[in-house]
Chain A
């Protein structure tokens, strides 16, 4: 029973990692850039929701939807203003740029009066509820995380599989030049990828807010999503979710069975092991250039 309980809570935590990793992968597949500010986007989403509830007095559902939409707009804006001038520059430049963006976001949030420097609780309507079945306890926070993750994955799957825009994004991610020649507006699709990624990060932020609270350093959880993305294979979207769940469950079990301290590094040990054993990850594709 203990084991099952640990696995369950790891699963919920893993879904959040998976959602953040999904954000990385969306951007990486589209633009081959790695966004080190993904965690800060999560933080901004949570703060946006909190600010709308606190200052504008909106109900949770409205505030959450608005915050997610706002994060989408912010993602597109960041792509247009900061990332597009760097097209063609080495990847290192993008990494440094996103680290800088993360720092700035974190610092600016700390300057918001009242809520910025504090640790805030986000009041959700499902706060404190729990589901009891078969001797297991699942809190409503965890259920909401898992349900939203499943819904998001399903809608992204439908988007990429059946819509014109989704297919165009797939084409652009496979070969930007060929897609460009076929008349696909690659730059605008890159912006869309950033917008989607921002919205997914915003969702993750609002979902995890009841568990970890809303504060300026909550973006550090974004670094845990790197192991998730690597375990899944950096360019694979189902891989990101599976990787996130694997990392979440391993972490939860390590926290329960191993001595103190192992919980914090379990994710990174998994990452290094994965890189040594199979650098392409579970679902990674190895593309070879045919000459």
Chain B
């Protein structure tokens, strides 16, 4: 068993405490950077989608996993980011500028939603965000001068100075870069005082308040940051798909985003990546499995719904810490191989905190 012993005070502040891990990360980064030279366009495109959904997943993770606020309307922020990016790109804005604007506008929307969210809690918040999601979808469909309405709109390729991002590889690198930056930002955020305040609010709002954490400000901040990340993901999404229409930002997209964090593992950063992989790989696996199923099952329009719903039920009931939690358990088992204690990850008995009294 390997253990790193800190020998100076900075050791606990380093992002990567262990030189062996640094080698691992560098290898991973090198492989991902070399990927366009190794695999075809189809796989490249799937990887880009995983990065985009991971960015969105990190945004949702910050809100649902770290601050404990449920939102069932996050597709609205994805849509805000995507349409802002498409609108500005069509008017010749370079992509760094357009993406910054997409993130900013999405943040503004997040603050607008975050403010009423301070008045309501628990299930009311989920319902309020659900309502917001429906209203936003309707706005995308009706504001035809900007969004093209239900007929949808084409998105021009991203431009920067004289450089146009047309190829699959350039979008891949753009998504990889944004994803890496957002991941770094999230890692640093959750170990900063702000991130710790988020976690404190999640675990107990009353105790957080008693410790002097301005709950209202941090909740709004969580909403704003979450919306900013999801808006960035939306901007990438617009360039990746090259075509936007309102039904891409419907309630089922919002539920997909929530499903991503639940299946991946709530309250963990790798969980967002596990969830993104699940969300992208499962439909492909279903498409392959379709040929081997009886036609009444294989051709049914609801096959994907059954698989996603079943996965959701299975994870909630059997593995609430998600794919990442399962991964940690397997890794621990292998590392401690002959001496794995039986009750290492036993679930704690818990009691429901009633929301009726406030």
B-binding residues in A (CB < 8 A): 32, 34, 82, 85-93, 95-97, 99-111, 113, 116-117, 216, 223, 226-227, 230, 234-235, 261, 264-265, 268-269, 271-272, 275-276, 279, 286-289
B352 in the interface, Cβ–Cβ < 8 Å?
A: yes
**Known contacts A91-B122, A97-B316, then 11 further A-B pairs from the complex at CB < 8 Å, ordered by chain A residue:** A86-B316, A96-B259, A100-B313, A101-B309, A103-B305, A107-B300, A107-B307, A109-B302, A275-B124, A279-B120, A286-B358
Q: Which residues of B sit under 8 angstroms from A101, Cβ to Cβ?
A: 309, 313
- Known interface pairs A107-B309, A234-B124, A261-B138; A100-B358 also in contact (CB < 8 Å): no
B270 in the interface, Cβ–Cβ < 8 Å?
A: no
Do A103 and B309 touch (CB < 8 A)? yes
Interface of B is mostly: helix
9 cross-chain CB contacts under 8 A? A96-B259, A105-B309, A107-B309, A108-B306, A110-B302, A269-B131, A272-B116, A275-B119, A289-B358
Q: Which residues of A sit under 8 angstroms from B128, Cβ to Cβ?
A: 271-272, 275
- Known interface pairs A89-B350, A89-B352; A96-B258 also in contact (CB < 8 Å): yes
A235 to B354, alpha carbons, bound, how many Å? 13
Q: From residue 51 to 95 of chain B, which have CB atoms closer than 8 A to chain A?
A: 64, 68, 70
B349 in the interface, Cβ–Cβ < 8 Å?
A: yes
B164 in the interface, Cβ–Cβ < 8 Å?
A: no
Do B296 and A113 touch (CB < 8 A)? yes
A93 interface neighbour in B127, B300, B316, Cβ under 8 Å: B316
Interface of A is mostly: helix
Q: Which residues of B sit under 8 angstroms from A105, Cβ to Cβ?
A: 309
Do A91 and B123 touch (CB < 8 A)? yes
Q: From residue 259 to 276 of chain B, which have CB atoms closer than 8 A to chain A?
A: 259, 262
A162 to B32, alpha carbons, bound, how many Å? 69
B2 in the interface, Cβ–Cβ < 8 Å?
A: no
C-beta contact mask, B261-298 vs A, less than 8 Å → 1, else 0? Answer: 01000000000000000000000000000000000110
Do A88 and B352 touch (CB < 8 A)? yes
C-beta contact mask, B340-358 vs A, less than 8 Å → 1, else 0? Answer: 0000000001111111111
Q: From residue 299 to 318 of chain B, which have CB atoms closer than 8 A to chain A?
A: 300-313, 316-317
